[in-house]
Structure 1
Amino acid sequence: MEKQVGEKFVSVIQNFSFVNSEKCYSDPFAIRGFKWRLLAECDLVVLHLYMCITDCPPFPSEAVKVRLTIVNQLCEYRSILKESDHWFDEKSPTWGCAIPTQILEEDGGFLVNGDLKIVAEDRVRLIFERHPEAAVEFRAKNQHLRTTYIIFLLSLIETLYQPLQELSSEDLVEADIALTYLKDAGFKVDWLENKLDLLKARKEKEKACEVRVQEMEVQLHDLKHKFEIEKAELVVCN
């Protein structure tokens, strides 16, 4: 049983068993113009999941952020997420991951009434659709080098879009270095540069606020100390 919701594909494999070694394929589905299939199979110890480009592709022209979620149907926050950046081509049309069946069996929420629920999605194309100019001047031809740069770009994006409180000043310095590295490689990442400048300004304001709070705490401590002295003297005078 399959269902597509936007750029997510949900597959429910019915009558699945962790001791069944048969291959279970989903129906073909399309995400961002490319056709895919999911494959699930067990070897008694490990559940193998694969996301495969179907026959007669064109292949994506950049690394794809592949994400597979094995859904815990009783407690969704316990779902298992596996993701990777993969460059699909004729030599490597499939990306897969493996999960020990012991983990899935012990929890009890992954296989409910024989149903195994898997969600597939990809994210990288959305980035280039929103910022089509980003890789126009990126000319690396070596596949592994291209993949490395894309992974580097995705990592930088994930870093810059974390909550501010989770980012240290050192993180922002490293992000600045990474941004320069990508620009030197030919990426146009003005939107990330603007995001980084905004984060730097907010981090400086945060640090300034922390300093003021510390100063006020010291002043408050001194006032309390003076108050206690004055209170003691008042008692003596009475």
Structure 2
Amino acid sequence: MEDRKQTSFTFEIDNFWDKEALIRSPNFFSGGCQWFVDVYPRGCGIEDHLSTFLCVANPESLLLGWKRRAILSLVLLNVSGKRLYRTYRDGPPCKTFCAQFPAWGWADAMPLEMLQENGFMEKNKLIVQVNVQVVEVVDEAEVTGKETLDVNGFQVLYSEVGQVTTIFAKHPDVALNFIPKSQLVKTVYMKLLMFLIEKLNKPPRSFIRNELSNARMELIDLTKAGFKLDWLKEKLDEISLERKKANGDGSLSSYGFRVQELEEQVKNLNLKLDTEKVKSAKVLSLEQTVSDLRDELSKEKTRSTTTTKDVLEGVIRSWEVLDYPDLSNEEVE
């Protein structure tokens, strides 16, 4: 059984405020593999925060399908041992590391402004302590493409983890009041949210009226489920406004909408027409093939009947030619 004891790794960063580039710790061992910590003194994705990530060292050297589930926590200390910050409040998170996601961490670990306050940083030195408790080890497994990871309570496919992680990074409170508890229902709602976000990333002029109406209804449904989507509503309102501006004001606006809708309908009908033409051509080809086969079958039947008749007539003629004696009148000796 895998040793599930917690591993605590600590390293010091001297002259912290003089650093701007990525700082990487030495490797340490836990849960059957090597790890290291990346620290971004000026943030990674969030410029006004210290960012820290725990990474699996040399993941390409591990076997196909490898996985590590680990409980993580991060503590920042000054040289006096005073705890400046920790990355969790209600308990450390459990994350899954794998080939697709060999690193997890905290882009907003600590505001730089807080680090600059008097009494926090001493002697321009920061001590980083990472605690890792590996709770599951998979050295090798079959990869099907349907594997999922837990992201803030939602089970999502590996291919969707990046998008979902970005949603929570930009909007940490997006699912705080989410109502459904069923994992299947949660997965469906998360897919709907990702689909709506992708849809609203299109240029405003590419939307037709029905699309915007449908998007607004989807937004209402997601909000009723408990998602906090004020930011998405603002984007939808901006798209609606941009579209109205692009089509002019007053009567010209409705005219522009109608023209765009008709153009879209004509485009869709043309696509359907092309599809039906292909189907029709296939049907005609099949009908011709069936007709040819029927003709050939009729010919074969005729030929077969004629051949059988000729054979029978030949046999009868052969009997007539042969002079068989009448054995019925012979006496038995």
Greater relative contact order (CA < 8 Å, ≥ 6 in sequence): 1
Structure number with bigger Rg: 2
Q: TM-score, normalised by structure 1?
A: 0.46
Q: TM-score, normalised by structure 2?
A: 0.34
